[in-house]
Amino acid sequence: EHETNRLTHVNSHAHRTEEMDVERLLVRRGQPFSLALQCFTTLPPKHKLAMILHLALNDSICVLDARAGSDKWWFRQQGAQSEVLLTIHSPADAPVGLYSVTVLLLSPDGHILEKTTPDTFYLLFNPWCKADSVYLPDEELLEEYILNENGLLYQGSWDQISSLPWNFGQFEQDVVDICFEILDNSPAALTNPEMDTANRADPVYVSRTITAMVNANDDRGVVSGRWDGKYDDGVPPTRWTGSVPILRRWSEAGAQRVRYGQCWVFSGVACTVLRCLGIPTRPVTNYSSAHDTDGNLNVDYLYDEQLESVSEGRKDMIWNYHCWVESWMDREDLPKGYDGWQALDPTPQERSDGVYCCGPCPVKAVRDGDVGMKYDAAFVFSEVNADLVTWIVYPDGQRSQVSLNQNTVGQNISTKSVYGDYREDITKHYKYPEGSVKEREVYEKAGRRVTQPNGAPGQLELKIKHAQAILGTDFDVIVEVHNVGGEDTPAQLTVTSNAVTYNSLHRGECHRKTASLTVPAQKAHKEVLRLRYDHYGACVSEHNLIRVTALLQVSGQPEVILQEVNIQLSMPQLHVKVVGDAVVSRKLIAHISFTNPLPITLRGGVFTVEGAGLTAAREIQAPDDIGPGQEVKVKLSFKPTRAGLRKLMVDFDADRIRDVKGIATLILKNKPKWFPP
């Protein structure tokens, strides 16, 4: 009788998968792992052992030899008293996936005398292995980009950056199974499983498949995107605090799309899946991100003669921020020089090869203007480099360009630092310094026109100022028109304030003011706009943003000056305090409180709580309506499952306020093995 024993602990420590909460053996490719074969008798002389390896979806069977061969699967054996230690070597370019292995006892003439019951294991990418195409030779980076289950996603706007704590949870229970389930549900896997399996050796293929599968636009994808504010038949995008509940919900419903996500949700989920599979990945945020629908490297804003916006249909726009991810890999499919970070954008914006996915696109190709590089370099290039062009459209359909802004788009490109919870600016990886010779060369190469500022600067300058604005209060916005010339100048000023989403969808106009003015030479004119909560409160989006746009037209001249500010209304924090001994498997209690900052009563309040190694996602309803200035308190008990630095993420949502967040950080110890007398 023979049976194999998987030495799970020894392997998972060596393969850095011990955090993964699964019964199954998890190993990384290109690195040997061991099985112990229990033998109740010693092996008879001249009998041999062989192994049969089977990749789950595929019928291909590979028989392993007991001899060394660096580019193939092989094994070696070492006898001990009542067992044989089998060490299995996998090639560093083997397809990732679920394998099963059976050990055979062969007679001297090659007949199968006995075989073990099959043992299964997952094989993952191995960024610690030199020969693997995702090899990253820096332990500190791997600690963050593979092993860290918590992170920050950057939001806000370029001049008011905020961070959202996110629970990636890539080692939580079932997550690795769900990641392979996502690959198994891709159109290629369903129509041509054999080819798909072979391609799973390639991180370029796997990461591109994941960007297509994280959004539910074409396939049995994970998250359905929605931006219009109508989320009653699902979860509002702002309510999520991590990827695990989304992945579990998708899997439990039989690969049914989860409603709803927006860009940070897509990037958070993609980051979880790619880290789990073993591809080093980080979330990235681009501020003032261009969405150029017609590919002309311009974002076109259209106004009529009354300075009302007339951009119709699928319009070009600038998103306050846009999140994607970068993954680290070699690009053997491209000419030399494009290895390293690759941009991957799982948010469904434009089709690529007929499918909503974007990337992997070498970040170096974006910086150098190589817009023909696979995949989607032109789209990513325009996200960080497009010009903002303002046009006036006349009644007969003619339009004239009235302003051009070349340095708005693509600012403060951000990711979380590997050294802690602060921002690392990676703009220089995407573009050369503003105004440098190199930048000009890149624009010419990419086909973006290089315009010289035309003629002398105008006499009038436009500035918008505002104090710190708090959601629920009234506040002033001041528009200043400065006349820097020597003559009094007549002009027409239009100022509008709109409730918008982070990706520039209008939810309602709060205020509009038009004034004819004459600005004296060397003086300034001030226009004050009072924004009241009873005006903006009803239409403000879940992103709590007010966009103030000022358009100034000098009388008798074609030129229009455009200024825009995005005012992020600041929100209260949740108060989260955890009480008890921070020891694995011991009960802890989280006390969560929130004070309503609005002058109105909040209804339907709900708290969402989750944390990798602490607790699965849970919801707690607020006991009652919450009046203006009133405090609500809830508590929740949980038993942590894993030691180390852990974060508990909390979200609060109600009918008139969303996206209120709180966080508690804990350091958990394992239970002591013994108790002194």
Tens of pLDDT, residue by residue over 67-118, are 666 678 888 888 877 788 889 999 999 999 999 999 888 888 889 888 888 8
How confident is the prediction for the chain on average, in pLDDT?
A: 90
| Cα gap 138→143, rounded to integer Å | 9
- Whole-Å CA distances, 221 to 152, 268, 273, 322, 349: 24, 15, 13, 20, 15
Cis, peptide link before residue 260, omega less than 30° from 0: yes
Cis, peptide link before residue 187, omega less than 30° from 0: no
| Cα gap 562→571, rounded to integer Å | 29
Strand duo 74-79 + 25-28: pairing: unpaired
| Six-digit token string for 250 | 């998708």
| Cα gap 210→214, rounded to integer Å | 6
Backbone dihedral region for residue 544 (phi beyond 0: left; psi -120 to 50: alpha; all else: beta): left
Q: Judge whether 606 and 660 are in contact, CB under 8 Å.
A: no
Residue ranges with strand state E in 442-505? 460-466, 475-483, 489-500
Domains 4-124 and 460-568 are alike in CATH topology: yes
**Window from 396-405, 419-428, 561-570, 640-649 with minimum mean pLDDT:** 396-405
| Cα gap 524→308, rounded to integer Å | 25
Active site residue 263: yes
Looking at residue 633, its pLDDT comes to: 97
Looking at residue 70, its pLDDT comes to: 61
**Section 349-359 average pLDDT:** 75
Look at residue 434 and give its three-state secondary structure.
coil
| Six-digit token string for 431 | 């573009």
Active site residue 294: no
Backbone dihedral region for residue 30 (phi beyond 0: left; psi -120 to 50: alpha; all else: beta): left
Looking at residue 458, its pLDDT comes to: 72
Looking at residue 660, its pLDDT comes to: 95
| Confidence check: pLDDT of 453 > 50 | no
Q: Judge whether 367 and 410 are in contact, CB under 8 Å.
A: no
Residue 29 — very low, low, confident or very high, per pLDDT cuts 50/70/90?
very high
**Quick one: which of 536, 535, 527, 534 has its CA closest to 477?**
527
| Confidence check: pLDDT of 335 > 80 | yes
3-state secondary structure 368-428: CCCCCCCCCHHHHHHHHHCEEEEEEECCCCCEEEEEEECCCCCEEEEEECCCCCCEEECHH
| Confidence check: pLDDT of 568 > 80 | yes
CATH classification number, 575-668, choose in 3.40.50.2000, 3.30.70.260, 3.40.50.2300, 2.60.40.10: 2.60.40.10
Among candidate residues 2, 322, 525, 543, the one labeled active-site is: 322
Looking at residue 215, its pLDDT comes to: 93
**Section 569-595 average pLDDT:** 95
- Contacts of residue 456, defined as CB under 8 A and 6 or more positions apart, other chains included, come to none
Residue 416 — very low, low, confident or very high, per pLDDT cuts 50/70/90?
very high
Look at residue 32 and give its three-state secondary structure.
coil
**Window from 260-274, 495-509, 625-639 with minimum mean pLDDT:** 495-509
| Confidence check: pLDDT of 338 > 60 | yes
| Confidence check: pLDDT of 146 > 70 | yes
| 507 CB neighbour count, 10 Å cutoff | 19
Binding-site members for Ca(2+) are: 385, 387, 434, 439
- Contacts of residue 296, defined as CB under 8 A and 6 or more positions apart, other chains included, come to none
| Cα gap 220→186, rounded to integer Å | 7
**Section 28-46 average pLDDT:** 84
**Section 18-41 average pLDDT:** 85
* DSSP 8-state assignment for residue 636: E
Look at residue 283 and give its three-state secondary structure.
strand
- Whole-Å CA distances, 425 to 218, 242, 253, 416: 34, 23, 39, 9
Cα Rg for the chain, rounded, in angstroms? 29
Q: Judge whether 476 and 531 are in contact, CB under 8 Å.
A: yes
Binding-site members are: 385, 387, 434, 439
pLDDT tens for 486-529 read 899 999 999 999 999 999 888 888 888 999 999 999 999 999 99
Task: Kindly report the backbone phi and psi dihedral angles of residue 195, in degrees, each rounded to the nearest multiple of 5, phi listed first.
Answer: -65, -40
Among candidate residues 132, 196, 202, 345, the one labeled active-site is: 345
**Section 563-569 average pLDDT:** 92
Q: Judge whether 322 and 411 are in contact, CB under 8 Å.
A: no
- Whole-Å CA distances, 254 to 185, 247, 249: 10, 11, 9
**Window from 110-119, 246-255, 297-306 with minimum mean pLDDT:** 297-306
Look at residue 361 and give its three-state secondary structure.
strand
Looking at residue 135, its pLDDT comes to: 98
Look at residue 440 and give its three-state secondary structure.
helix
- Give the CATH H-level superfamily of domain 460-568: Immunoglobulins (2.60.40.10)
Q: What is the residue type of 26?
A: L
Helix, strand and coil in the chain, % to nearest 5: 15, 40, 45
Among candidate residues 2, 132, 179, 263, the one labeled active-site is: 263
**Quick one: which of 478, 512, 507, 482 has its CA closest to 307?**
512
In the chain, % of residues over pLDDT 70: 93
CATH class of the 139-446 domain in this structure: alpha beta
| 485 CB neighbour count, 10 Å cutoff | 15
Show me where the domains of the chain are located.
4-124, 139-446, 460-568, 575-668
Q: Which residue has the higher pLDDT, 327 or 80?
A: 327
CATH of domain 4-124: 2.60.40.10
Residue where the block lists tokens 């509008």: 496
| Six-digit token string for 517 | 């003015």
**Section 363-389 average pLDDT:** 92
- Whole-Å CA distances, 639 to 82, 585, 642: 40, 5, 10
Looking at residue 2, its pLDDT comes to: 61
| Confidence check: pLDDT of 457 > 70 | no
Residue ranges with strand state E in 9-149? 25-28, 33-39, 48-55, 61-64, 74-79, 83-89, 97-106, 112-115, 119-124
Q: Which residue has the higher pLDDT, 48 or 344?
A: 344
Q: Judge whether 37 and 84 are in contact, CB under 8 Å.
A: yes
| Six-digit token string for 118 | 């099959």
Residue 293 — very low, low, confident or very high, per pLDDT cuts 50/70/90?
low
In the chain, % of residues over pLDDT 90: 64
Active site residue 345: yes
